[in-house]
A and B are shown apart, each in its own frame.
Chain A
Amino acid sequence: MSKFDFPPSIKSRPVYGTLTAREGNGHLFIADAHGAEAILDVATPEMMANAHIIYIPRGESFGDKLRALNPAQYYEGPSYAASVTRIQRVLQDAKMGLQVYLTGTEGLMGQAQNEAMQAGIPHTAIQTEHRGSVARRMQCVHCKGITEDVETDPFVCSHCGLNLFVRDHYSRRLAAYQGVCIDAEDPGNVPAAKGIYE
Protein backbone atom coordinates (compact mmCIF):
# COMPACT_ATOMS: atom_id res chain seq x y z
CA MET A 1 0.00 0.00 0.00
CA SER A 2 1.37 3.41 -0.92
CA LYS A 3 2.08 5.86 1.84
CA PHE A 4 -0.23 8.78 2.48
CA ASP A 5 1.20 12.29 2.62
CA PHE A 6 -0.58 14.10 5.41
CA PRO A 7 -1.12 17.77 4.57
CA PRO A 8 0.93 20.19 6.70
CA SER A 9 -0.98 21.29 9.76
CA ILE A 10 -0.78 22.88 13.19
CA LYS A 11 2.05 22.02 15.58
CA SER A 12 -0.20 19.83 17.70
CA ARG A 13 -0.63 17.32 14.91
CA PRO A 14 1.78 14.38 15.16
CA VAL A 15 4.25 13.90 12.32
CA TYR A 16 5.38 10.42 11.39
CA GLY A 17 8.67 9.34 9.90
CA THR A 18 10.18 6.31 8.27
CA LEU A 19 11.48 3.50 10.45
CA THR A 20 15.23 3.12 10.45
CA ALA A 21 17.33 0.54 12.23
CA ARG A 22 18.95 1.94 15.38
CA GLU A 23 21.53 0.49 17.71
CA GLY A 24 20.17 -1.03 20.85
CA ASN A 25 20.04 -4.15 22.94
CA GLY A 26 16.50 -4.98 21.85
CA HIS A 27 13.94 -3.96 19.25
CA LEU A 28 10.24 -3.79 20.04
CA PHE A 29 7.92 -3.51 17.05
CA ILE A 30 4.25 -2.75 17.58
CA ALA A 31 2.16 -2.65 14.41
CA ASP A 32 -1.31 -3.05 13.06
CA ALA A 33 -2.65 -3.89 9.60
CA HIS A 34 -0.41 -2.42 6.87
CA GLY A 35 2.22 -1.45 9.44
CA ALA A 36 3.55 -4.95 8.76
CA GLU A 37 4.94 -3.63 5.47
CA ALA A 38 7.09 -1.06 7.25
CA ILE A 39 8.53 -3.82 9.44
CA LEU A 40 9.25 -5.95 6.39
CA ASP A 41 11.05 -2.95 4.86
CA VAL A 42 13.32 -2.23 7.80
CA ALA A 43 13.97 -5.71 9.23
CA THR A 44 17.46 -7.22 9.10
CA PRO A 45 18.47 -10.62 10.48
CA GLU A 46 20.65 -8.91 13.14
CA MET A 47 17.73 -6.84 14.38
CA MET A 48 15.36 -9.80 14.32
CA ALA A 49 17.70 -11.80 16.55
CA ASN A 50 16.76 -9.39 19.36
CA ALA A 51 13.30 -8.37 18.19
CA HIS A 52 9.86 -8.72 19.64
CA ILE A 53 7.02 -8.11 17.19
CA ILE A 54 3.53 -7.44 18.48
CA TYR A 55 1.13 -7.40 15.55
CA ILE A 56 -2.59 -6.74 15.28
CA PRO A 57 -3.68 -7.84 11.78
CA ARG A 58 -7.11 -6.14 11.65
CA GLY A 59 -8.08 -8.39 8.77
CA GLU A 60 -4.80 -8.16 6.85
CA SER A 61 -2.75 -11.26 6.18
CA PHE A 62 0.86 -10.29 6.76
CA GLY A 63 1.26 -12.63 9.72
CA ASP A 64 3.15 -15.34 7.84
CA LYS A 65 5.56 -12.86 6.30
CA LEU A 66 6.33 -11.35 9.69
CA ARG A 67 6.83 -14.78 11.23
CA ALA A 68 9.20 -15.62 8.40
CA LEU A 69 11.46 -12.77 9.53
CA ASN A 70 12.24 -15.02 12.46
CA PRO A 71 11.98 -12.47 15.29
CA ALA A 72 13.08 -13.64 18.73
CA GLN A 73 9.46 -13.26 19.84
CA TYR A 74 6.29 -12.91 17.82
CA TYR A 75 2.79 -12.23 19.09
CA GLU A 76 -0.38 -11.68 17.13
CA GLY A 77 -3.30 -10.12 18.97
CA PRO A 78 -6.94 -9.83 17.95
CA SER A 79 -7.15 -6.15 18.93
CA TYR A 80 -5.12 -3.39 20.55
CA ALA A 81 -7.12 -3.78 23.75
CA ALA A 82 -6.26 -7.46 23.83
CA SER A 83 -2.55 -6.73 23.28
CA VAL A 84 -2.03 -3.81 25.64
CA THR A 85 -1.32 -5.87 28.75
CA ARG A 86 1.41 -7.68 26.86
CA ILE A 87 2.84 -4.37 25.65
CA GLN A 88 2.87 -3.06 29.21
CA ARG A 89 4.54 -6.20 30.49
CA VAL A 90 7.24 -6.11 27.84
CA LEU A 91 7.98 -2.45 28.62
CA GLN A 92 7.98 -3.03 32.34
CA ASP A 93 10.70 -5.67 32.03
CA ALA A 94 12.67 -3.78 29.40
CA LYS A 95 16.12 -2.28 29.88
CA MET A 96 17.61 0.98 28.67
CA GLY A 97 18.77 0.61 25.11
CA LEU A 98 15.49 -0.88 23.92
CA GLN A 99 14.43 0.62 20.59
CA VAL A 100 10.72 1.05 19.96
CA TYR A 101 9.23 1.05 16.45
CA LEU A 102 5.53 1.82 15.97
CA THR A 103 3.81 1.51 12.63
CA GLY A 104 0.34 1.29 11.16
CA THR A 105 -2.66 3.47 11.99
CA GLU A 106 -2.49 6.68 13.98
CA GLY A 107 -4.62 5.22 16.76
CA LEU A 108 -2.26 2.27 17.24
CA MET A 109 0.87 4.41 17.16
CA GLY A 110 -0.58 7.00 19.53
CA GLN A 111 -1.71 4.50 22.12
CA ALA A 112 1.46 2.43 21.98
CA GLN A 113 3.56 5.60 22.17
CA ASN A 114 1.68 6.51 25.31
CA GLU A 115 2.60 3.19 26.92
CA ALA A 116 6.24 3.57 25.90
CA MET A 117 6.35 7.12 27.30
CA GLN A 118 4.89 6.00 30.58
CA ALA A 119 7.57 3.33 30.73
CA GLY A 120 10.15 6.12 30.52
CA ILE A 121 11.06 6.53 26.85
CA PRO A 122 10.89 10.16 25.68
CA HIS A 123 8.47 10.49 22.77
CA THR A 124 11.23 11.92 20.61
CA ALA A 125 13.12 8.62 20.89
CA ILE A 126 10.19 6.51 19.71
CA GLN A 127 10.12 5.86 15.98
CA THR A 128 6.86 5.89 14.07
CA GLU A 129 5.80 5.28 10.49
CA HIS A 130 2.24 5.65 9.27
CA ARG A 131 0.87 2.92 7.00
CA GLY A 132 -2.60 1.99 5.94
CA SER A 133 -5.86 3.61 6.97
CA VAL A 134 -5.90 7.36 7.67
CA ALA A 135 -8.84 7.00 10.06
CA ARG A 136 -8.46 8.80 13.37
CA ARG A 137 -9.03 8.00 16.99
CA MET A 138 -11.21 10.88 18.23
CA GLN A 139 -12.15 12.16 21.63
CA CYS A 140 -15.43 13.99 22.04
CA VAL A 141 -14.50 17.11 24.03
CA HIS A 142 -18.04 17.21 25.43
CA CYS A 143 -18.65 13.72 26.81
CA LYS A 144 -14.95 12.63 26.69
CA GLY A 145 -15.92 9.39 24.95
CA ILE A 146 -13.49 7.96 22.39
CA THR A 147 -14.64 6.97 18.93
CA GLU A 148 -12.17 4.79 17.05
CA ASP A 149 -11.49 4.71 13.31
CA VAL A 150 -13.24 7.93 12.35
CA GLU A 151 -13.05 8.40 8.58
CA THR A 152 -15.39 11.31 7.97
CA ASP A 153 -15.71 14.93 9.03
CA PRO A 154 -18.05 15.68 10.69
CA PHE A 155 -18.98 12.45 12.43
CA VAL A 156 -21.38 11.39 15.16
CA CYS A 157 -19.93 10.75 18.63
CA SER A 158 -20.44 7.07 19.35
CA HIS A 159 -21.12 7.90 23.02
CA CYS A 160 -23.27 11.05 23.27
CA GLY A 161 -24.48 11.37 19.69
CA LEU A 162 -23.33 14.97 19.09
CA ASN A 163 -22.21 15.96 15.61
CA LEU A 164 -18.47 16.49 15.89
CA PHE A 165 -16.03 18.44 13.77
CA VAL A 166 -12.66 16.66 13.34
CA ARG A 167 -9.87 18.90 14.58
CA ASP A 168 -6.10 18.53 14.08
CA HIS A 169 -5.69 19.38 17.76
CA TYR A 170 -4.14 16.24 19.24
CA SER A 171 -3.64 14.98 22.76
CA ARG A 172 -0.59 12.80 23.28
CA ARG A 173 -1.89 11.77 26.68
CA LEU A 174 -5.18 10.53 25.26
CA ALA A 175 -3.67 9.45 21.94
CA ALA A 176 -6.66 11.08 20.26
CA TYR A 177 -7.68 14.08 18.19
CA GLN A 178 -10.31 16.40 19.55
CA GLY A 179 -13.85 16.37 18.19
CA VAL A 180 -15.91 19.53 18.77
CA CYS A 181 -19.66 19.97 18.34
CA ILE A 182 -20.23 21.48 14.92
CA ASP A 183 -23.87 22.58 15.32
CA ALA A 184 -23.93 23.96 18.85
CA GLU A 185 -25.07 27.45 17.75
CA ASP A 186 -27.60 26.22 15.26
CA PRO A 187 -28.65 22.67 16.16
CA GLY A 188 -29.30 20.50 13.14
CA ASN A 189 -27.28 22.66 10.76
CA VAL A 190 -24.69 19.97 9.99
CA PRO A 191 -22.62 20.06 6.78
CA ALA A 192 -22.53 16.86 4.74
CA ALA A 193 -19.88 14.41 5.94
CA LYS A 194 -16.85 14.00 3.70
CA GLY A 195 -13.49 12.22 4.01
CA ILE A 196 -11.16 13.91 6.52
CA TYR A 197 -8.60 14.77 3.83
CA GLU A 198 -11.07 15.57 1.03
Chain B
Amino acid sequence: MSAAPQKAKAGAERIDVTVSAVVPLNDLVTRFEFQRRDGADFPPFSGGAHTVVEMKDGDRSRLNPYSLMSDPADLSTYAISVRRDDQGRGGSLYMHNNVSQGDDMVITYPVNLFSLDLRAKKHVFLAGGIGITPFMAMIEQLERSNGNWELHYSVRSADLGTYTDVLTYKYPNKVHVYIDDQNQAIDLETLLDGQPLGTHAYVCGPKGMIDWVHATGSKMGWPDENVHSEEFLAPAPGEPFEVRLCKSDKTITVGENESLLEAIERAGVDAPFLCRGGSCGQCETDVVASDGEFIHRDHWLEEEDHASGKKIMPCVSRFIGKQLELDR
Protein backbone atom coordinates (compact mmCIF):
# COMPACT_ATOMS: atom_id res chain seq x y z
CA MET B 1 0.00 0.00 0.00
CA SER B 2 1.20 3.48 -0.71
CA ALA B 3 1.91 5.97 2.02
CA ALA B 4 -1.20 8.05 1.31
CA PRO B 5 -1.99 10.59 3.98
CA GLN B 6 -4.45 9.33 6.55
CA LYS B 7 -7.95 10.41 5.65
CA ALA B 8 -10.78 10.96 8.03
CA LYS B 9 -13.15 8.70 6.13
CA ALA B 10 -12.75 5.83 3.67
CA GLY B 11 -13.05 6.47 -0.05
CA ALA B 12 -11.86 9.47 -1.99
CA GLU B 13 -12.52 12.96 -0.61
CA ARG B 14 -16.07 14.27 -0.92
CA ILE B 15 -17.33 17.28 -2.85
CA ASP B 16 -20.66 18.96 -2.11
CA VAL B 17 -22.52 19.56 -5.36
CA THR B 18 -25.81 20.76 -6.72
CA VAL B 19 -27.49 19.01 -9.61
CA SER B 20 -27.33 21.70 -12.28
CA ALA B 21 -29.11 19.80 -15.06
CA VAL B 22 -30.97 16.57 -15.67
CA VAL B 23 -31.10 15.74 -19.37
CA PRO B 24 -33.00 12.66 -20.56
CA LEU B 25 -31.23 11.32 -23.67
CA ASN B 26 -33.43 8.37 -24.59
CA ASP B 27 -35.72 5.80 -22.99
CA LEU B 28 -32.98 4.45 -20.76
CA VAL B 29 -30.22 7.01 -20.36
CA THR B 30 -30.22 10.36 -18.56
CA ARG B 31 -27.35 12.79 -18.09
CA PHE B 32 -26.84 14.42 -14.69
CA GLU B 33 -24.68 17.52 -14.44
CA PHE B 34 -23.18 18.78 -11.20
CA GLN B 35 -21.78 22.07 -10.02
CA ARG B 36 -19.90 22.69 -6.81
CA ARG B 37 -21.87 24.30 -4.04
CA ASP B 38 -18.87 26.45 -3.08
CA GLY B 39 -18.66 27.83 -6.61
CA ALA B 40 -15.06 26.71 -7.09
CA ASP B 41 -13.74 24.65 -9.96
CA PHE B 42 -13.82 20.88 -9.76
CA PRO B 43 -10.50 19.08 -9.46
CA PRO B 44 -8.96 18.29 -12.86
CA PHE B 45 -9.50 14.76 -14.14
CA SER B 46 -8.35 12.70 -17.07
CA GLY B 47 -10.52 10.75 -19.48
CA GLY B 48 -11.62 7.45 -18.01
CA ALA B 49 -11.97 8.73 -14.44
CA HIS B 50 -15.04 8.00 -12.37
CA THR B 51 -16.71 9.56 -9.37
CA VAL B 52 -18.69 7.81 -6.67
CA VAL B 53 -22.14 9.34 -6.20
CA GLU B 54 -23.71 9.13 -2.74
CA MET B 55 -27.45 8.60 -2.73
CA LYS B 56 -29.52 8.97 0.39
CA ASP B 57 -32.29 6.52 -0.37
CA GLY B 58 -34.44 6.57 2.76
CA ASP B 59 -32.33 5.14 5.55
CA ARG B 60 -30.17 3.37 3.06
CA SER B 61 -27.15 5.07 1.62
CA ARG B 62 -26.01 4.02 -1.81
CA LEU B 63 -22.59 4.72 -3.27
CA ASN B 64 -22.38 4.05 -6.99
CA PRO B 65 -19.43 4.71 -9.32
CA TYR B 66 -20.07 6.46 -12.64
CA SER B 67 -17.59 7.47 -15.34
CA LEU B 68 -17.17 11.19 -15.77
CA MET B 69 -18.22 11.89 -19.33
CA SER B 70 -17.91 15.65 -19.51
CA ASP B 71 -15.02 17.46 -21.16
CA PRO B 72 -11.95 17.28 -18.87
CA ALA B 73 -11.08 20.83 -19.92
CA ASP B 74 -14.32 22.18 -18.44
CA LEU B 75 -13.96 22.13 -14.67
CA SER B 76 -17.10 24.15 -13.97
CA THR B 77 -19.22 21.03 -14.46
CA TYR B 78 -18.94 17.30 -13.95
CA ALA B 79 -21.40 15.14 -15.86
CA ILE B 80 -22.34 11.48 -15.70
CA SER B 81 -24.76 9.53 -17.84
CA VAL B 82 -26.79 6.89 -16.10
CA ARG B 83 -28.56 3.99 -17.75
CA ARG B 84 -31.70 2.92 -15.95
CA ASP B 85 -31.45 -0.70 -14.89
CA ASP B 86 -34.87 -1.94 -13.85
CA GLN B 87 -33.42 -5.25 -12.68
CA GLY B 88 -30.49 -3.66 -10.87
CA ARG B 89 -30.02 -2.96 -7.19
CA GLY B 90 -31.75 0.36 -7.41
CA GLY B 91 -28.98 2.96 -7.69
CA SER B 92 -29.75 3.86 -11.27
CA LEU B 93 -33.50 3.83 -10.57
CA TYR B 94 -32.92 6.17 -7.67
CA MET B 95 -31.03 8.58 -9.92
CA HIS B 96 -33.75 8.43 -12.56
CA ASN B 97 -36.74 8.68 -10.22
CA ASN B 98 -35.57 10.80 -7.32
CA VAL B 99 -32.93 13.21 -8.51
CA SER B 100 -33.92 16.54 -10.03
CA GLN B 101 -32.30 19.80 -10.93
CA GLY B 102 -31.39 21.88 -7.88
CA ASP B 103 -30.91 18.88 -5.56
CA ASP B 104 -27.91 18.81 -3.27
CA MET B 105 -25.75 15.72 -3.54
CA VAL B 106 -22.30 14.53 -2.52
CA ILE B 107 -19.83 12.98 -4.95
CA THR B 108 -16.20 11.96 -4.55
CA TYR B 109 -13.02 13.26 -6.09
CA PRO B 110 -12.34 11.55 -9.40
CA VAL B 111 -10.36 8.33 -9.47
CA ASN B 112 -9.00 6.98 -12.73
CA LEU B 113 -8.64 3.24 -13.14
CA PHE B 114 -9.08 3.35 -16.91
CA SER B 115 -6.70 6.00 -18.15
CA LEU B 116 -5.30 6.52 -21.61
CA ASP B 117 -1.80 5.24 -22.21
CA LEU B 118 -0.38 8.41 -23.68
CA ARG B 119 2.60 6.56 -25.13
CA ALA B 120 0.21 4.93 -27.59
CA LYS B 121 0.70 5.70 -31.28
CA LYS B 122 -3.02 5.26 -31.74
CA HIS B 123 -6.07 4.66 -29.53
CA VAL B 124 -8.87 2.33 -30.64
CA PHE B 125 -12.01 2.63 -28.50
CA LEU B 126 -14.57 -0.16 -28.37
CA ALA B 127 -17.80 0.73 -26.61
CA GLY B 128 -20.91 -1.30 -25.95
CA GLY B 129 -24.06 0.56 -24.91
CA ILE B 130 -23.59 2.76 -21.84
CA GLY B 131 -19.89 1.80 -21.98
CA ILE B 132 -19.58 4.88 -24.18
CA THR B 133 -19.31 7.23 -21.17
CA PRO B 134 -15.55 7.10 -20.36
CA PHE B 135 -14.76 7.49 -24.06
CA MET B 136 -16.71 10.75 -24.24
CA ALA B 137 -14.14 12.33 -21.90
CA MET B 138 -11.17 10.51 -23.47
CA ILE B 139 -12.13 11.75 -26.93
CA GLU B 140 -12.30 15.38 -25.79
CA GLN B 141 -8.96 14.99 -24.06
CA LEU B 142 -7.31 13.50 -27.15
CA GLU B 143 -8.85 16.03 -29.51
CA ARG B 144 -7.06 18.78 -27.59
CA SER B 145 -3.69 17.12 -27.97
CA ASN B 146 -4.37 16.12 -31.56
CA GLY B 147 -4.37 12.46 -30.57
CA ASN B 148 -4.89 9.66 -33.03
CA TRP B 149 -8.07 7.76 -32.16
CA GLU B 150 -11.07 5.96 -33.56
CA LEU B 151 -14.26 4.76 -31.91
CA HIS B 152 -16.25 1.62 -32.64
CA TYR B 153 -19.53 1.84 -30.81
CA SER B 154 -22.08 -0.88 -30.71
CA VAL B 155 -25.65 -0.01 -29.67
CA ARG B 156 -28.81 -2.08 -29.35
CA SER B 157 -31.01 0.07 -31.57
CA ALA B 158 -30.76 3.43 -33.26
CA ASP B 159 -33.05 4.91 -30.58
CA LEU B 160 -30.86 3.68 -27.75
CA GLY B 161 -27.65 4.92 -29.33
CA THR B 162 -26.68 7.37 -26.60
CA TYR B 163 -24.59 10.25 -28.01
CA THR B 164 -24.30 8.64 -31.46
CA ASP B 165 -25.75 11.85 -32.93
CA VAL B 166 -23.20 14.24 -31.38
CA LEU B 167 -20.32 11.90 -32.00
CA THR B 168 -21.03 11.23 -35.64
CA TYR B 169 -21.72 14.92 -36.21
CA LYS B 170 -18.46 16.08 -34.62
CA TYR B 171 -16.18 13.25 -35.77
CA PRO B 172 -17.74 11.69 -38.87
CA ASN B 173 -14.51 10.00 -39.94
CA LYS B 174 -13.47 8.62 -36.59
CA VAL B 175 -16.74 7.32 -35.18
CA HIS B 176 -18.23 4.04 -36.36
CA VAL B 177 -21.62 3.04 -35.00
CA TYR B 178 -22.93 -0.53 -35.19
CA ILE B 179 -26.65 -1.05 -34.66
CA ASP B 180 -27.52 -4.46 -33.26
CA ASP B 181 -31.10 -4.72 -34.46
CA GLN B 182 -29.99 -3.82 -37.97
CA ASN B 183 -27.58 -6.75 -37.83
CA GLN B 184 -24.51 -4.58 -37.72
CA ALA B 185 -21.64 -5.91 -35.64
CA ILE B 186 -18.05 -4.95 -35.02
CA ASP B 187 -15.77 -7.08 -37.18
CA LEU B 188 -13.13 -7.27 -34.50
CA GLU B 189 -10.51 -9.41 -36.20
CA THR B 190 -10.46 -7.22 -39.27
CA LEU B 191 -10.41 -4.17 -37.06
CA LEU B 192 -7.46 -5.32 -34.94
CA ASP B 193 -5.57 -6.66 -37.92
CA GLY B 194 -3.22 -4.15 -39.45
CA GLN B 195 -3.31 -1.53 -36.67
CA PRO B 196 0.06 0.22 -36.45
CA LEU B 197 2.55 -1.04 -33.88
CA GLY B 198 2.00 0.82 -30.61
CA THR B 199 -1.80 0.93 -30.91
CA HIS B 200 -3.74 0.57 -27.67
CA ALA B 201 -7.28 -0.78 -27.56
CA TYR B 202 -9.77 0.19 -24.85
CA VAL B 203 -13.00 -1.61 -24.24
CA CYS B 204 -15.90 -0.66 -22.01
CA GLY B 205 -19.17 -2.53 -22.15
CA PRO B 206 -20.77 -5.79 -21.08
CA LYS B 207 -18.54 -8.53 -19.71
CA GLY B 208 -18.96 -10.68 -22.82
CA MET B 209 -17.65 -7.86 -25.00
CA ILE B 210 -14.66 -7.23 -22.73
CA ASP B 211 -13.71 -10.92 -22.69
CA TRP B 212 -14.14 -11.11 -26.46
CA VAL B 213 -11.77 -8.19 -27.06
CA HIS B 214 -9.12 -9.54 -24.66
CA ALA B 215 -9.34 -13.03 -26.16
CA THR B 216 -9.25 -11.84 -29.77
CA GLY B 217 -6.36 -9.51 -28.99
CA SER B 218 -4.22 -12.22 -27.47
CA LYS B 219 -5.08 -14.64 -30.26
CA MET B 220 -3.80 -12.05 -32.70
CA GLY B 221 -0.59 -11.47 -30.80
CA TRP B 222 -1.49 -8.20 -29.08
CA PRO B 223 0.35 -7.74 -25.78
CA ASP B 224 -2.05 -7.72 -22.82
CA GLU B 225 -0.67 -4.34 -21.79
CA ASN B 226 -2.12 -2.84 -24.98
CA VAL B 227 -5.68 -3.93 -24.30
CA HIS B 228 -7.40 -1.94 -21.54
CA SER B 229 -10.82 -2.56 -20.14
CA GLU B 230 -13.18 -1.26 -17.56
CA GLU B 231 -16.13 -3.06 -16.18
CA PHE B 232 -17.78 -1.82 -13.04
CA LEU B 233 -19.25 -4.81 -11.40
CA ALA B 234 -22.41 -4.17 -9.52
CA PRO B 235 -22.46 -6.26 -6.36
CA ALA B 236 -24.61 -9.31 -7.02
CA PRO B 237 -27.44 -10.24 -4.70
CA GLY B 238 -27.19 -13.53 -2.86
CA GLU B 239 -28.11 -15.51 0.22
CA PRO B 240 -27.70 -13.51 3.44
CA PHE B 241 -24.66 -14.53 5.47
CA GLU B 242 -23.13 -13.70 8.81
CA VAL B 243 -19.70 -12.13 9.27
CA ARG B 244 -17.61 -11.51 12.33
CA LEU B 245 -15.55 -8.29 12.16
CA CYS B 246 -12.69 -9.06 14.53
CA LYS B 247 -11.04 -5.67 14.96
CA SER B 248 -14.34 -3.88 15.48
CA ASP B 249 -15.68 -6.72 17.60
CA LYS B 250 -19.01 -6.86 15.77
CA THR B 251 -21.07 -9.57 14.14
CA ILE B 252 -23.17 -8.46 11.20
CA THR B 253 -25.51 -10.04 8.69
CA VAL B 254 -25.09 -9.20 5.02
CA GLY B 255 -28.54 -8.90 3.49
CA GLU B 256 -29.62 -10.43 0.22
CA ASN B 257 -29.49 -7.16 -1.70
CA GLU B 258 -26.51 -5.45 -0.17
CA SER B 259 -22.81 -6.03 -0.60
CA LEU B 260 -20.49 -7.11 2.17
CA LEU B 261 -18.89 -3.65 2.03
CA GLU B 262 -22.27 -1.97 2.41
CA ALA B 263 -23.12 -4.19 5.37
CA ILE B 264 -19.81 -3.32 7.03
CA GLU B 265 -20.50 0.38 6.49
CA ARG B 266 -24.06 0.01 7.77
CA ALA B 267 -22.62 -1.38 11.01
CA GLY B 268 -20.71 1.88 11.40
CA VAL B 269 -17.32 0.40 10.52
CA ASP B 270 -15.22 2.57 8.24
CA ALA B 271 -13.80 0.28 5.56
CA PRO B 272 -11.54 1.42 2.71
CA PHE B 273 -12.85 1.59 -0.86
CA LEU B 274 -12.45 3.57 -4.05
CA CYS B 275 -14.23 2.00 -7.00
CA ARG B 276 -16.83 -0.22 -5.33
CA GLY B 277 -16.69 -2.28 -8.48
CA GLY B 278 -13.98 -4.88 -7.88
CA SER B 279 -11.14 -3.27 -9.78
CA CYS B 280 -9.15 -0.79 -7.67
CA GLY B 281 -7.93 -3.12 -4.94
CA GLN B 282 -8.56 -0.64 -2.17
CA CYS B 283 -11.06 -2.71 -0.20
CA GLU B 284 -8.89 -5.87 -0.01
CA THR B 285 -9.54 -7.52 3.33
CA ASP B 286 -7.81 -10.38 5.14
CA VAL B 287 -9.85 -13.39 6.15
CA VAL B 288 -9.08 -14.52 9.69
CA ALA B 289 -11.13 -17.71 9.61
CA SER B 290 -13.73 -19.26 7.38
CA ASP B 291 -15.80 -22.37 6.97
CA GLY B 292 -17.64 -22.28 3.68
CA GLU B 293 -17.34 -21.14 0.12
CA PHE B 294 -16.24 -17.78 -1.22
CA ILE B 295 -17.98 -16.22 -4.21
CA HIS B 296 -15.15 -14.10 -5.58
CA ARG B 297 -16.25 -11.69 -8.30
CA ASP B 298 -13.50 -9.07 -8.36
CA HIS B 299 -10.92 -8.33 -11.07
CA TRP B 300 -8.26 -7.54 -8.51
CA LEU B 301 -7.02 -10.61 -6.65
CA GLU B 302 -4.89 -13.25 -8.33
CA GLU B 303 -6.36 -16.69 -8.79
CA GLU B 304 -4.09 -18.04 -6.05
CA ASP B 305 -5.54 -15.45 -3.66
CA HIS B 306 -9.03 -16.53 -4.58
CA ALA B 307 -8.14 -20.16 -4.03
CA SER B 308 -6.31 -19.47 -0.75
CA GLY B 309 -9.42 -18.36 1.14
CA LYS B 310 -7.26 -15.74 2.85
CA LYS B 311 -8.52 -12.61 1.08
CA ILE B 312 -11.80 -11.10 -0.05
CA MET B 313 -12.88 -7.93 -1.86
CA PRO B 314 -16.01 -6.92 0.08
CA CYS B 315 -17.30 -4.48 -2.54
CA VAL B 316 -18.38 -7.28 -4.91
CA SER B 317 -17.67 -10.68 -3.36
CA ARG B 318 -19.81 -12.80 -1.08
CA PHE B 319 -19.68 -15.93 1.01
CA ILE B 320 -21.83 -18.99 1.60
CA GLY B 321 -21.23 -21.11 4.65
CA LYS B 322 -21.12 -21.48 8.37
CA GLN B 323 -18.56 -18.96 9.49
CA LEU B 324 -16.56 -16.01 8.17
CA GLU B 325 -14.25 -13.82 10.22
CA LEU B 326 -12.59 -10.76 8.74
CA ASP B 327 -9.69 -8.65 9.90
CA ARG B 328 -11.73 -5.47 9.94
- Which residue numbers of A lie inside 8 Å of B, CB to CB? 22-25, 91-92, 94-99, 119-122, 124-125
Complexed CA–CA distance, A125 and B223 (Å): 6
B191 CB to closest chain A CB, in angstroms?
11
> Of A22, A91, A94, A122, which one neighbours B226 at CB under 8 angstroms?
A122
Say whether B194 contacts A95, CB under 8 Å.
yes
A22 CB contacts on chain B under 8 angstroms: 221
Which residues does chain A contribute within 8 Å of B222, judged by CB atoms? 96-97
Closest to A92 in B: B197
The residue on A at minimum CB distance from B196 is: A95
Closest residue of chain B to A96, judged by CB? B195
List B residues at the A interface (Cβ < 8 Å): 119-121, 192-199, 218-226
Give the distance to chain B from A8, nearest Cβ to Cβ, in Å: 23
Cβ contacts under 8 Å, A96 to chain B: 192, 194-199, 220-222, 226
List B contacts of A120 (CB < 8 A).
119-121, 196-199, 226
Distance to closest chain B CB from A88 (angstroms): 12
CA separation between A120 and B220, bound complex, in Å?
16
Q: Give B219's nearest chain A residue, CB to CB.
A: A23
Known: A120-B119, A120-B121. A24 touches B197 (CB 8 A): no
What 4 A-B pairs come out closest when comparing CB atoms? A120-B198, A24-B221, A125-B223, A97-B221
How far is it, in angstroms, between the C-alpha of A91 and the C-alpha of B192 when the chains are bound? 17
* Besides the known contacts A97-B192, A122-B225, 15 further A-B residue pairs in the complex with CB atoms under 8 A apart: A22-B221, A23-B218, A23-B220, A23-B221, A25-B220, A91-B197, A92-B197, A94-B196, A95-B196, A96-B197, A97-B193, A119-B198, A120-B121, A120-B196, A125-B225
Residue in chain B with minimal CB distance to A27: B221
Q: Which of chain A's residues have a CB closer than 8 A to the CB of B221?
A: 22-25, 96-99
Among B195, B197, B218, B220, which residue has its beta carbon within 8 angstroms of that of A119? B197
Q: How far is the CB of A90 from chain B (nearest CB, A)?
A: 10
A25 to B121 Cα, complex, angstroms: 19
A125–B192 Cα distance when bound, in Å, is: 17
The reply to whether B219 and A95 contact each other, CB–CB distance below 8 Å, is no
Minimum CB distance partner of B194 in chain A: A95
Selected A-B contacts with CB under 8 Å, 9 pairs: A94-B196, A95-B196, A96-B192, A96-B198, A96-B199, A96-B221, A97-B222, A120-B199, A125-B223
State the CA gap A92–B88 with chains docked (Å).
47
Given the complex, which residues of A lie within 8 Å of B194, measured CB to CB? Answer: 95-96
Across the interface, do A124 and B198 meet the contact criterion of CB distance under 8 Å? no
Q: B226–A95 contact, CB under 8 A? A: no
CB distance from A114 to the nearest CB of B (A): 14
The answer for the CA separation of A96 and B121 in the assembled complex, in Å, is 11
Closest-CB distance, A122 to chain B (whole angstroms): 4
| Shortest distance from the beta carbon of B167 to any chain A beta carbon, whole Å | 24
Residue from B119, B194, B223, B225 whose CB has the most chain A CB atoms within 10 Å: B223
- Chain A residues in 8 Å Cβ range of B223: 121-122, 124-125
- A121-B193 contact, Cβ under 8 Å, with A23-B219, A97-B221: no
CB of B187, distance to nearest CB on chain A (Å):
16
List chain B residues, Cβ under 8 A from A121. Answer: 197-198, 223
In the complex, chain A residues whose CB is within 8 Å of the CB of B196: 94-96, 120
Nearest to A97 among chain B residues (CB) is B221
B197 close to A95 (CB less than 8 A): yes
- Distance between Cα atoms of A30 and B222 in the complex (Å): 19
